[in-house]
Amino acid sequence: MNGRLTTVVMLLWGMFGPLFAQENIVREQTGNSAIQFEQHYIAQDTTNSVIIPFRIRYDYFVFTRAFSSVAEMYSAHGEVTVELLDSTGTSVARSIQQIGITVKENLPSSLREQFTQNFFIFYVPNGRYSIVFKVEDKESKRQFVDDKKRLTISKPDSMLSGLIPVKNESEKKFTLFNLGGDVLFSQNYGFVFLSQKRYASATSSLLKLQLDDEEKEVINANAPSSITVFENRTITAMMENSTTLPLHGMNRSNIHYVAFDGSQLRQGRYELTLTFPDSTKLKTTFAARWQDMPVSLNDLDLATEPIQFITTKSDYSDLRKGGRETRIKRFEEFWKKKDTTPLTAYNEVMHEFYRRVDFSMTAFRTLRDMNGAITDRGKIYLLFGKPSTTERLLNPDGAPKEIWKYNSLNKTFTFEDPSKQGNYKLAENK
């Protein structure tokens, strides 16, 4: 490997090292996909580096208990394969990584919040490539295959890379989102690119791509954007093992960072074009993701039903009337009125409510009420959250009881199950 290419690869590892090792209700939820990967390149005179970071949520894998272990642990194993095909369909590069994971809790809610991530690097000449990305879970033999991503690397000019989405941790530290080329909605974001020329400014045009091929919505057009240039200087990167490494850019290249205010960036897909003073342009498409979006927001009826507990009968009736587009608009207007931070796209009140809905749906589900969020226990959980203490009383001669105490609110709720089938009803509120 030549020295300049090695330095660039090390640079990207140093800059992005900390992260390498959501039609729905709100119209364009990008969700939280279980498997995400993206592709970037650094162009060279002869050989180019192709970097493919990936992220896989734990709940993609099947965990089994290791009975030989003293402690109660669960493990899962998988395999990630990436192959590059040239324009003729011929394989020009292929690599495999083994995945081994251990956890203490084999609970879906816990596994959904954890992920494993790493990256592949390939060295290829200029050309057009197809990327075949495959994940296999060793226990279930389930496979995920994506062969739709394409990458074109032409003869290097002033631009040595495409736009790489990052979050700026500090002046000298960038972290890759590693969300399949996307960014987090309602958070500040930026893009890094490498160039032989030094660009101190650019104009940016951001368009929101609409559903059903509708006309693109202009977010901003020809807006001035400042660029931070790292030229012949050290960038300190924090690695996963908490060590810091001083890294330098390669000869004849400049590291550029373009920052954007993403506080009001709504969910959905966007197209960004950067135009530089010499008329050179860089363009990319990306999505703004609500990465931990509550599952209940994926279904309009499911998300609307629990609102009956926090609004009037008249308003609730209005939310259920009309066609889908009308209902979505009223749903958004309802939650917008309750948003305590209207200057950002993220609605903390709505998120917390539907986080409680997600929990209640399964925790309080019964044979009679499949949606636990609309049971008596679900209603109290939605209104007041998790109780300070929960006590269950099993009386052979009477109905089972659950007593929920909220110490900070000085409230106690008692639920009874006369049928003894898990159908708890609110019996006392004091």
pLDDT tens digits for range 66-84: 766 566 889 999 999 999 9
Question: pLDDT value at position 210?
Answer: 79
pLDDT tens per residue across span 369-382: 889 999 999 999 99
Point out the least confidently predicted range of 23-32, 121-130, 342-351.
Answer: 23-32
DSSP state of 373: G
The CATH number of 3-289, from 2.60.120.330, 2.60.40.10, 3.40.50.720, 3.40.50.300, is 2.60.40.10
Q: Is the pLDDT of residue 319 over 50?
A: yes
Point out the least confidently predicted range of 212-226, 270-284, 313-327, 397-411.
Answer: 212-226
Question: pLDDT value at position 121?
Answer: 87
Q: With bands split at pLDDT 50, 70 and 90, how would you rate the model's confidence at 199?
A: very high
- For range 142-149, the mean pLDDT: 96
Q: With bands split at pLDDT 50, 70 and 90, how would you rate the model's confidence at 222?
A: very high
pLDDT tens per residue across span 28-67: 445 568 999 999 888 877 788 888 989 999 999 999 987 6
Share of the chain above pLDDT 90, in %: 55
Question: pLDDT value at position 176?
Answer: 79
Backbone angles phi, psi at 59, to 5 degrees: -75, 0
Q: Is the pLDDT of residue 294 over 60?
A: yes
Question: pLDDT value at position 105?
Answer: 86
**Kind of pairing between the strands at 143-153 and 127-137:** antiparallel
Q: Which amino acid would we find at residue 36? A: Q
List CB contacts of 252: < 8 A, sequence separation 6 or more.
196
List CB contacts of 307: < 8 A, sequence separation 6 or more.
316, 319, 334
Question: pLDDT value at position 420?
Answer: 87
Question: pLDDT value at position 239?
Answer: 33
pLDDT tens per residue across span 246-267: 434 445 578 889 999 999 998 8
Share of the chain above pLDDT 70, in %: 83
Question: pLDDT value at position 70?
Answer: 61
Question: pLDDT value at position 232?
Answer: 55
Q: Is the pLDDT of residue 104 over 60?
A: yes
Question: pLDDT value at position 241?
Answer: 38
Point out the least confidently predicted range of 194-198, 312-316, 390-394.
Answer: 194-198
Q: With bands split at pLDDT 50, 70 and 90, how would you rate the model's confidence at 154?
A: confident
Maximum mean pLDDT: which of 66-70, 187-191, 361-365, 403-407: 403-407
Question: pLDDT value at position 33?
Answer: 82
Residue, of 117 and 416, whose pLDDT is higher: 416
Question: pLDDT value at position 90?
Answer: 97
Q: Is the pLDDT of residue 224 over 70?
A: yes
Alpha helices in 186-309 (DSSP H): 300-304
Question: pLDDT value at position 245?
Answer: 36
Question: pLDDT value at position 25?
Answer: 56
Q: Is the pLDDT of residue 174 over 80?
A: no
Report the predicted TM-score, pTM, of the whole model to 2 decimal places. Answer: 0.79
CA-CA-CA-CA torsion sign (180, 186, 187, 193): positive
Place of tokens 């959250």: 385
